[in-house]
Each structure stands twice: as C-alpha cells, then as structure tokens.
C-alpha cells in the first residue's frame, strides 16, 4: 500500500497555511477558528466598500430623477437631509456600523425605505436556485468531459471538446442568452422567454420553476462547463503522468480503476478549490443572466442599487456576497478533507 | 396616468366654469358608452424595474406613477388634451377675492377596502403633502395651499396663499392623488414611514385594485368592480418586470406580453412585420437638445452658440437615428401645441455659416487645423448617459461635424448618476439630454429656464436650469405666464419666449421624438395622450 501513497503534489501550493494537518485541531475547532477569522475580514471589507462607494462620483439623490429628464422631483435637499447624506462620510459609516452591530439590522433602502435584510432575503432563494443548478449542472457535465479528454488526449473527440470549450469561454453570456431565447422560446416555443414563475403561480412550484430554470441555468452553466472541463483535463493529465499511476498500472490494476479511483480522486482536489473561487465570478455572471431572463435574484438588486447609489443596499449586498464567498471557501476546505485522505483535522499527523 | 403628475396648467376661468357645469350633470351611474360585452380578460404590461413605493408623491419613477395612476384618483382629472374634468370632485368653484376653491365631492365612492370616501380623506391627504416634515418630493407644487378645511362630509375648501392659475390641472387639484385617511392614522408620520406597509399594499379609489407585488417579477392589479364610473373592461392587469429592452420585445413577439409602451426604432420593424401585433404612434410632450453651460466662457458668445446650431445636422438625427419618427427641434415647445411659434424655423445644417460665425467670434484655425483663440485651443467633449444609444449616436454625429469645423471634439459616455452630478455642477462641455412631461394644458418652463433655478453650488441649491440660461426678459415671460389668466395671452407669451430662445441659441434643440407603442392586434380602445400611455386604461378591452 505504501507505494500507492502519492507524493505531495504541486497543486496544493498556496493553501497549506489553512490546512496544516500538524496542528491537530478537530474539524469543529477548525471551522470555529476560520469563522472567528472572518470577523476582522468582514470589518475591513465594510470599511473599504463604504469608502469606495461614497468617494465614487454620483449621488443617491439622482435616483429620484428620471433618466429622460421627465417628471423631475423638487425638494431634493430635504430628502438629502432625511437620508443623512449631509453627514461627513465617517459619521455615515459609524451610523451604518451601529445599525448593524447594535441593532442587528442592515439599514433601510434609500429608495423605498424597506429594511435591507428583508430585500436581500427576498432575493436569495432565486439566486441560490439559479447558481446552485448552474454549478451542479456544470460539474456533472464538465468533469466527465475533462476525464474523457485527458484519457483520449488529442483524439478527435478531445479536439472537438477543446474547440467547444474555447467557444464557450469566448461567447459572451448575454449573446448566448439572447440566442437561446430566440431559438428555444421564439422559434421552437419550448421554454418561456423570461421570468421564474408563470403569472399565476406562487411560492415554490417545482415544475413551474424548473421549466423556467432550464434556459438561464444552462446559459449560466455553459461558460463554467467550458472552463471547468479544461481545468479537469489538465489536472487529470498532470495526475496521469505521476509515478503512482504507473505503479498502479504495473501492479495490474484495471485501467478503469486506475482512472476512476487513483487518478480521478487526486485530480478532483484542485477542482474543489475552484468551487470556492468560482463563487464570486459566478455571482457576477448571474447579474447579466438575471437581467436578461428577468430572474428575480440578488444580481438585479445589486445592479439597481449600484446605479441608484442606494448605499445601504450596496453595503448589505457586498457584506452578504463577502459572507457567501467566505463560506464557499470554508466549504471547499472542508470538502477537501472529505476527498483527500491525507488531510485530517481530527488527528495528529 | 401621468395626468395626476407634477405639472402646471393653462386653463381659463371660463373653461373651468363650463366644466364644472358638465361635471354636475354627468356624475351618476356608469360611464358614457359602457358596453358590457367588452368586459373580461387580462392584459400583460411591462416595466424595466420594480415600482419604488405606492405612496403618492414619494416616488418619481414611471413604474410607480403609472400603476398608482390606475389605483388612485385626484379631485380633478384631465381629459385627452389635459383639460380638467370631474374626478373625485363633481364640481368646484373659485372665489377670487378670498382665494378659496370649494370642491363638492362625489358621493358613494368607496375605497378598495370598502370604507366610504369623504372630505376627511381629502384634508388628511393635503395635510400630509404640505406638512413641513413631509418627504413629499413634489412639495413645491403644493406651496400655494395655505390650509384645507372640511365644510361637511362632501365639501372641502382650499385656502390659497396666492392665486395659482394652474391649481386645477397641473396643480394640487389634479396632481394630488387622494389617500385613505384611515390608513394614515398618524398623518405625516405614517406618510413618511420607512417600512410602510401601505407602500406595498395600497388602497385607492381608482378603476383597478392592488392584488399582489412579487418583487422583481410582477405587480398584479384587478378590476375594481365597484368603481363609481362603472367597472373597467379588463379583469386584470399584470405588469411584468423585464429589465432588458430586447427581452421585452421578444416577449411581445412571442405573445407573452400584450402591450409595450415604447419600442425602439430597431425592434419596431420586427414588430411591424408580425401579423399578431399592431402599433400606435403618439406624441410625447418633451424636447431633446444638445445643451451647454451658457456661463462657460466659450458659450457666452452668441456667435459660438449659433455656430453650434448651424453645425447640428437635425435632419440626419430625425431620419437616420429616429428613422423618421421625430419632429425637427426648434425650441422647448412641442410642435403640436399652440405655444409653439410657427415662425421659428429650425437652424439649417450649414457648416459654412458655422465656420464664418466661429471666425467672427475670434476662433481662427491654427496651423494644425484646430481653431484657437487667445492661445487656447477649441476642445469640446460631447457627452451622453451610458446605455442610451440614441443619445450616443447624436453625440457621434454632432462631434463628427464639429471636427470638420476645426474643433477638437470628443464623444464620451457617463454613467447616469455621475452624468447628472456633472450636469448639475456645470462641468460638462456639451450634453445630449431631454426634458418634458407636459401637455398643452400643463406646459410650463419656469423651473427649467428661470434664473432662480440655476443651481447655486455654494448654497447647495439644485435647480433644474443647468444650462444656466440667464436673461431678465426670459424670467419676466416665465413669471407672467404663471399669473396671466387669459389663455390666449399666455400662449402669445410663450410664442415670444420660443422665438427669443431660438434667436439667442441657448441650446441646440434637436428633435421631439414620436413614440411607438406595440400591442396585440386584438387589444382595442387604447388611446395614448401626450401626458400618459395609460390615460384611458379603464376603456381598454379585448376584441372577442
């Protein structure tokens, strides 16, 4: 069995400080410690975001004016005073911090005075459904493609996948989205043009939502499939050329078992890291997809609030997004332990 | 129904009396020409974004205002031409010596929750609008009101501080939608409330009742079968939130959406080809312009301003960018309105003349082909707001011509909020913009051209005269227009203003766009007034 232990491979570089198996902490303590570390991190993010946001040109009051210059509002000064925009920036920040820390409240939208928490919570399910489906879908498709391409390197099929993935990476998602709508909704009338639910359905109606989900989730997954399958291919190739694989083959292990057990598990490790790292960019991609498909998620809330300079909502979303990324990274580290037998949080090495 | 909106009117006292007589006689029963066979069906509309809040005068976005216009009503409504007709008030009279309007309210009107509508609601509403603490964004429109008093359950008196000849149409009587007093027990505190329940569950008296609002998905209204003017024909109005204009058009073509208020010229051809759709072209009370800061030393010279007007190819804008769907611009009055001075012709496209004027103004071409004066090169940035492709094209067309004249012209797009901020501060060289929201009765430009509306950055006042037009003569006309009671004299005043602004070339007025709405070919009864696309929504119906 000793011969089957893979050597420390290079793809783990850069993650070791968090994953030092010699520290001997339990998984629970590890998670606790990581959670504790996020507090100063989130604090710094909040200061930086607030500073950038308020220093950027533009004015929240502008949202009360119509882009066509029509129906302009008066009394904007009163409004500015009411919203506390005349305070110095640090006072505005401290007021916001007080709201969050003392009252456990993320503030109120400048636009309609609703609590930011309520606005975000209302949007989260839609975004999670869309992103979750897209991630799952892309993994389910990209990983087999990656393995196949690596095993049949330079075959016709591999070349085809290479071509397709370059296409997938280079086609802008908004274009793909519009083309998908043109073909599947307009021409063939298979899927709805946009929205998450029919006009008369409410709450979580599985079939209705799935029906509306197909196009946006596929389009969102498309780019991810393209890049993930490339990653999987190169990661797989790297592992296949390792000594322990040769050993396994020499030992007479069936090719299928060599690929699926020895090579695949090791090649999957860096891909799991990608889940965590992909979260922010996927959130970004979801903005566009949500806008085109009129999907009622967080992305649109983010875009609207940024254009409107709705500071409180921007802060709420940034903090929430940061939290999501932190959790995503933590999750991928924990998943690591599950997949990689060498990483154990519970025992001393 | 933007006719409830912020606007000032020009209606003579004689017409007011005439309409009040008509109002008294036609108050009862269902509306004229009601046909029970037309009843039924739902319609799907679109909006680029969610409404902000359903509290009147707290939102200034079109989604909120359009939908509230279907659910709420004011004392006086506007007809197709913007003239006052009875709304929640059946008749009214004005006593000039005491500056008092007396309104007789419609009896038997019920709020959507079943409670009766009375004078208490009217008083409570206006008390909230004029309260010093009120977050009413249009507060200045209500400044002429001193107090509102209840005479009896169906009579209210408005005491004014000064005569307001626009009180009935653009002014408070038509712009102030009545809110239910019983949902605002603490008055202005409830009106200003941050997380207002009413703001997302409105109760009005209008032809449609609120049903549901799913954020970022849809807003649903249903017919108010007990409406005092007879029920609307449609059973239900669904407004889908579709943030992308292409997708909006695709939905229309697929038949998932029944009505789109404004099609852009490109999608228009697709819609026109479709056998299941039809279009209506309508005028909108607005003017588009390429403006500049008139206090900018370069533009302080009238010759330079006129040269800019000669250098602008208006015809190309109308025929190439708007594909013919626009009027040539000569000034801030819409060409279909009487206030437009027919003798004012658009500046012709004449680069030679423009070059002469620039030479006369002292901007001579240097050895590098760039015009220079006192050692300063003539360099101008033509700006627009990002995402508005028509404005971008106008900026490009214009900049190309300026370059031919030896002006170093650059085109630049700004993000909207940033654009407005720079516009306010007078930092943009030239900007492609529009202004409007008026019809014949409500056209009024004091807020846009009066010297008092020039933003004062030191005092922090943000007026809308951001082109910084500053002439005593213009101020005088704008003021007289607001107090002159004779309608024909008022029209003369604005015709004079039109001629003056054109001669002084305070801006390069480009065009007035004609809008095209696209809809299902079986959707009938749609009329679009200059003030609102949903002007007669209660009369829309499906052909059976």
Residue-wise pLDDT for B46-91, tens only, equals: 998 889 899 998 887 888 999 999 999 999 998 888 889 999 999 9
Q: For CA atoms B15, B20, B26, B31, give the dihedral sign.
A: positive
ipTM associated with this complex: 0.76
Q: How confident is the model at residue B304 (pLDDT cuts 50, 70, 90)?
A: very high
pLDDT digit string (tens) for A122-179?
Answer: 888 898 899 889 989 998 999 999 999 998 888 998 999 999 998 888 888 889 999 9
Distance between A147 CA and the closest CA of chain B, angstroms? 38
Alpha carbon distance B228, A246 (integer Å): 87
Q: Is the distance from CB of B421 to CB of A57 less than 8 angstroms? A: yes
Work out the average pLDDT over B474-479. Answer: 94
* Burial of A101 (C-beta count, 10 Å sphere; 0-12/13-18/19+): exposed
pLDDT values of chain A reduced to their tens digit, one per residue, 349 residues: 333 333 333 333 334 344 444 445 577 787 888 888 888 988 999 999 999 988 887 777 766 655 444 434 445 666 677 777 888 888 889 988 888 888 778 888 887 788 899 899 988 889 889 988 998 999 899 999 999 999 888 899 899 999 999 888 888 888 999 999 989 988 888 898 888 888 776 667 888 888 999 999 999 998 889 888 998 999 999 888 888 888 888 888 888 888 888 888 888 888 877 777 777 777 777 888 998 898 998 888 888 888 888 888 999 988 888 888 888 778 877 777 766 666 666 544 3
Does residue B312 or residue A104 have the better pLDDT? B312
Interface touch B242/A57, C-beta < 8 Å: no
Mark yes or no for CB contact B437/A71 under 8 Å: yes
Is residue B488 scored above 50 in pLDDT? yes
Q: Quick one: pLDDT at residue B443?
A: 87
Tokens representing B101 are: 């309007």
**B106 to chain A, closest Cα gap in Å:** 29
Mutate to test the interface with B, among A55, A57, A66, A74 (most CBs of B within 10 A): A74
- Which residues in chain B touch residue A130, judged by CB atoms under 8 angstroms apart? none
Confidence of residue B139 (pLDDT cuts 50, 70, 90): confident
Pairing of strands B408-414, B379-385: parallel
Predicted pLDDT of residue A153 = 87
For A:288-317, CB contacts with B below 8 A are: 291-297, 300-301, 304, 307-309
CB of A81 within 8 Å of a chain B CB? The answer is no
CA distances to A101, A236, A242, B132, B152 from A230, rounded to whole Å, are 44, 10, 19, 64, 79
Backbone angles phi, psi at B434, to 5 degrees: -145, 165
Among A72-76, B206-210, B250-254, B275-279, whose mean pLDDT is lowest?
A72-76
Distance of CA A14 to the CA centre of its chain: 21
Label the pairing between strands B430-436 and B379-385.
parallel
Please judge whether B60 and A64 are an interchain contact, meaning their C-beta atoms are less than 8 angstroms apart. yes
In sequence order, which residues have a C-beta less than 8 Å from that of residue B19 and are 6 or more positions away?
A: B83, B84, B85, B86
Return mean pLDDT, chain B: 89
B509 forms beta bridges with B289
At residue A212, the pLDDT reads 92
- The alpha carbon of residue A155 is apart from the nearest alpha carbon of chain B, in Å, by 40
Selected residue of A53, A67, A111, A292 to mutate for chain B interface (largest B Cβ count, 10 A): A67
**Does A196 contact chain B (CB < 8 Å)?**
yes
Count of pairs with CB atoms under 8 A, one residue in A, one in B: 168
B375: exposed, middle or buried (Cβ count in 10 Å: 0-12, 13-18, 19+)? exposed
* Residue positions counted in chain B: 544
Q: How far apart are CA A131 and CA A137, in angstroms?
A: 10
Helix H or strand E encompassing B519:
strand B508-520
Smallest Cα distance from A86 to chain B, Å: 11
Inter-chain residue contact B61 with A66, CB threshold 8 Å: yes
The chain B residue lying nearest A82, using CA atoms, is B135
Transcribe B123-178 into DSSP letters: HHHHHHHH-TT---TTGGGGTTEEEEEEEETTEEEEEESS--TTTTTTSHHHHS--
Fill in the DSSP letter of residue B216.
Answer: T
CB contact under 8 A, A75 and B44: no
- Residues A269 and A333 sit within 8 Å (Cβ to Cβ): no
Percent of chain B predicted with pLDDT > 90: 66
> Predicted confidence band at B19 (pLDDT cuts at 50, 70, 90)?
very low
| A55 has a chain B CB within 8 A of its CB | no
Q: Could you give the CA distance from residue B372 to residue B375 in angstroms, rounded to a whole number? A: 6
Of the two residues B134 and B109, the one the predictor is more confident about is B109
Q: Do A108 and B436 touch (CB under 8 A)?
A: no
Task: Pick the residue of B4, B274, B417 with the most A CBs within 10 A to test the interface with A by mutation.
Answer: B417
Contact A72 B253 (CB under 8 A): no
Predicted local distance difference test score (pLDDT) of residue B205? 97
Calculate how close chain A gets to B254, using CA atoms only, in Å.
Answer: 6
CB-based contact A196:A216 (threshold 8 Å): no
For residue A183, what are the contacts with CB-CB under 8 A and spacing of at least 6? Answer: none
In a mutational test of the A interface, the residue from B215, B421, B531, B532 whose CB has the highest number of chain A CBs within 10 Å is B215
Is the CATH number of domain B286-514 3.10.105.10? yes
Contacts of A69 in chain B (CB under 8 A): 286, 433-436
Question: What residues of B are in contact with residue A192 (Cβ under 8 Å)?
Answer: 256
Nearest Cβ partner for A79 among B61, B135, B415: B135
Tokens representing A34 are 């990581």
Count H helices and E strands in chain B, helices first: 15, 23
Helix (H), strand (E) at residue B380: strand B379-385
- How far, in Å, CA of B84 to CA of B77, rounded? 6
Quote the pLDDT of residue A50. Answer: 92
- What per-residue confidence (pLDDT) applies to B400? 95
Mutate which: A63, A66, A68, A80, vs B, most B CBs within 10 A: A68
Average pLDDT on B492-516 reads: 95
DSSP 8-state assignment for residue A201 = -
Tokens 């429109």: give the residue: B141
> Which residue among B193, B251, B385 places its CB closest to the CB of A67?
B385
Q: Which of A73, A185, A300 sits opposite B216 (nearest CB)?
A: A300
pLDDT-based confidence at residue B261 (cuts at 50, 70, 90)? very high
> What pLDDT score does B27 carry?
38
User: Which residues in chain A have their CB less than 8 angstroms from residue B235's CB?
Assistant: none
What are the φ/ψ torsions at residue B414 (nearest 5 degrees)? -120, 150
- 3-class DSSP state of B226: coil
Among candidate residues A301, A118, A106, the one with its CA nearest the CA of residue B217: A301
What separation in angstroms does the CA of A174 have from each of A220, A261, A300, B48, B244?
10, 39, 14, 17, 11
For B169-198, what is the mean pLDDT? 92
B215–A122 C-beta distance less than 8 A: yes
The answer to whether A114 contacts B195, with C-beta atoms less than 8 Å apart, is yes
Q: Which pLDDT belongs to residue B514?
A: 92
CB contact under 8 A, B246 and A185: no
- Burial (CB count within 10 angstroms: exposed 0-12, middle 13-18, buried 19+), residue A10: exposed
> What mean pLDDT is predicted for residues B331-338?
93
Residue whose pair of structure tokens reads 């307009």 in the numeric block = A186
Is B249 in contact with B260 (CB distance < 8 Å)? yes
Closest CA to A240 of A155, A151, A149: A151
Residues from chain B contacting residue A194 (CB–CB below 8 Å): 240, 242, 247, 250-251, 256
pLDDT for A7: 37
φ, ψ (nearest 5 deg) of residue A113: 75, 15
pLDDT of residue B429: 94
> Which pLDDT value is given to residue A64?
66
For residues A123 and A298, is the Cβ–Cβ distance under 8 A?
yes
If you measure CA to CA, which chain B residue comes closest to A310? Answer: B417
Separation between Cα atoms, residue B250 and residue A181, nearest integer Å:
8
Dist CA A312 CA B529 (whole Å): 38
Contact (CB, 8 A) for B244 and A291: yes
Of B49, B139, B240, the CB nearest to A195: B240
A78 to B421: CB separation less than 8 angstroms, yes or no: no
Q: Where do the H-state alpha helices sit in chain A?
A: 27-55, 76-82, 89-103, 116-151, 156-170, 173-180, 206-240, 243-250, 255-257, 264-292, 298-308, 311-339
d(CA A163, CA A42): 41
Distance of CA B218 to the CA centre of its chain: 24
Statement: residue B13 has pLDDT above 50: no
């Amino acid at each position: 069995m000793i011969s089957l232990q893979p050597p420390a491979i290079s793809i783990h570089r850069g993650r070791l400080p968090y994953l030092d198996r010699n520290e001997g902490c339990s998984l629970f303590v590890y998670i606790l410690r990581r959670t504790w570390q996020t507090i100063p991190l989130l604090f710094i993010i909040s200061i930086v975001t607030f500073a950038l946001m308020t220093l950027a040109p533009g004015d929240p009051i502008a949202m009360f004016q119509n882009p066509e210059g029509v129906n302009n509002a008066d009394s904007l000064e009163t409004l500015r005073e009411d919203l506390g925009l005349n305070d110095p920036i640090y006072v505005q920040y401290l007021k916001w911090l007080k709201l969050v820390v003392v009252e456990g409240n993320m503030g109120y939208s400048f636009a309609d005075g609703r609590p930011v928490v309520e606005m975000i919570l209302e949007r989260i399910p839609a975004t999670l459904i869309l992103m979750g489906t897209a991630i799952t879908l892309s993994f389910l498709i990209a990983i087999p493609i990656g393995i196949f391409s690596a095993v049949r390197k330079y075959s016709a099929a591999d070349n085809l996948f290479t071509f397709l993935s370059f296409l997938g990476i280079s086609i802008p998602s908004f274009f793909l989205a519009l083309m998908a709508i043109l073909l599947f909704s307009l021409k063939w009338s298979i899927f709805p043009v946009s929205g998450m639910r029919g006009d008369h359905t409410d709450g979580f109606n599985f079939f209705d939502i799935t029906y509306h989900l197909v196009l946006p989730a596929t389009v969102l997954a498309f780019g991810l499939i393209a890049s993930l399958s490339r990653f999987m291919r190169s990661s797989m190739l790297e592992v296949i050329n390792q000594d322990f694989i040769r050993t396994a083959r020499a030992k007479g292990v069936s090719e299928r078992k060599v690929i699926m057990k020895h090579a695949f598990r090791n090649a999957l490790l860096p891909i799991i890291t990608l889940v965590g790292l992909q979260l922010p960019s996927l959130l970004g991609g979801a903005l566009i997809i949500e806008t085109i498909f009129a999907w009622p998620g967080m992305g649109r809330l983010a875009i609207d609030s940024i254009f409107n300079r709705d500071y409180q909502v921007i802060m709420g979303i940034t903090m929430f997004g940061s939290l999501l990324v932190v959790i995503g990274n933590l999750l991928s580290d924990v998943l690591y332990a599950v997949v990689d037998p060498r990483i154990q949080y519970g025992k001393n090495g | 129904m933007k006719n409830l909106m912020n606007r000032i009117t020009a209606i003579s006292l004689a017409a007011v009396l005439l309409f009040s007589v008509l109002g008294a006689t036609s108050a009862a029963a269902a509306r004229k020409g009601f046909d029970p066979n037309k009843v039924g069906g739902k319609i799907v509309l679109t909006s680029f974004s969610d409404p902000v809040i359903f509290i009147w005068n707290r939102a200034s976005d079109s989604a909120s205002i359009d939908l509230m216009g279907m659910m709420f009503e004011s004392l006086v409504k506007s007809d197709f031409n913007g003239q006052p007709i009875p709304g929640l008030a059946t008749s009214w009279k004005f006593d000039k010596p005491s500056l008092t309007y007396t309104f007789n309210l419609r009896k038997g009107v019920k709020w959507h929750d079943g409670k009766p509508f009375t004078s208490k609601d009217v008083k409570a509403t206006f008390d909230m609008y004029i309260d010093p603490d009120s977050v009413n964004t249009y507060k200045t429109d209500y400044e002429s009101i001193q107090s509102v008093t209840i005479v009896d359950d169906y009579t209210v008196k408005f005491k004014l501080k000064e005569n307001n000849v626009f009180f009935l149409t653009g002014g408070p009587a038509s712009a102030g939608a009545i809110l239910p007093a019983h949902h605002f027990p603490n008055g202005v505190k409830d009106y200003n409330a941050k997380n207002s329940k009413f703001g997302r569950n409105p109760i009005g008296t209008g032809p449609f009742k609120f049903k549901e609002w799913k954020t970022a998905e849809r807003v649903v209204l249903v017919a108010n079968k007990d409406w005092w003017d007879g029920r609307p024909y449609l059973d239900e109005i669904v407004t889908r939130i579709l943030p992308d204009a292409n997708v909006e058009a695709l939905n229309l073509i697929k038949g998932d959406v029944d009505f789109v208020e404004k099609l852009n010229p490109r999608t228009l051809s697709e819609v026109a080809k479709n056998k299941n759709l039809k279009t209506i072209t309508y005028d909108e009370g607005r003017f588009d312009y390429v403006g500049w800061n008139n206090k900018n030393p370069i533009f302080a010279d009238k010759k330079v301003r006129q040269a800019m007007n000669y250098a602008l190819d208006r015809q190309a804008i109308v025929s190439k960018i708007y594909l013919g769907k626009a009027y040539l611009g000569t000034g801030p009055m819409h060409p279909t309105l009487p206030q437009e001075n027919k003798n004012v012709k658009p500046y012709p496209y004449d680069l030679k003349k423009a070059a002469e004027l620039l030479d006369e103004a002292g901007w001579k071409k240097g050895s590098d082909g760039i015009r220079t004066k006192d050692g300063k090169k003539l360099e101008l940035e033509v700006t627009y707001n990002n995402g508005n492709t028509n404005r971008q094209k106008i900026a490009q067309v214009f900049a190309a011509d300026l370059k031919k004249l030896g002006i170093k012209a650059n085109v630049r797009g700004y993000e909207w909020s940033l654009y407005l901020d720079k516009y306010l501060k007078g930092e943009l060289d030239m900007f492609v913009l529009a202004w409007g929201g008026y019809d014949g009765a409500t056209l009024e430009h004091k807020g846009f051209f009066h010297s008092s509306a020039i933003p004062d950055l030191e005092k922090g006042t943000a007026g809308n005269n951001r082109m910084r037009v500053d002439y005593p003569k213009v101020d005088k006309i704008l003021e007289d227009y607001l107090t002159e009671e004779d309608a024909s004299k008022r029209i003369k005043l604005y015709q004079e203003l039109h001629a003056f602004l054109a001669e002084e070339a305070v801006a390069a007025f480009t065009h007035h766009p004609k809008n095209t709405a696209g809809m299902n070919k079986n959707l009938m009864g749609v009329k679009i007034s200059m003030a609102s696309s949903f002007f007669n929504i209660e009369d829309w119906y499906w052909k059976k």
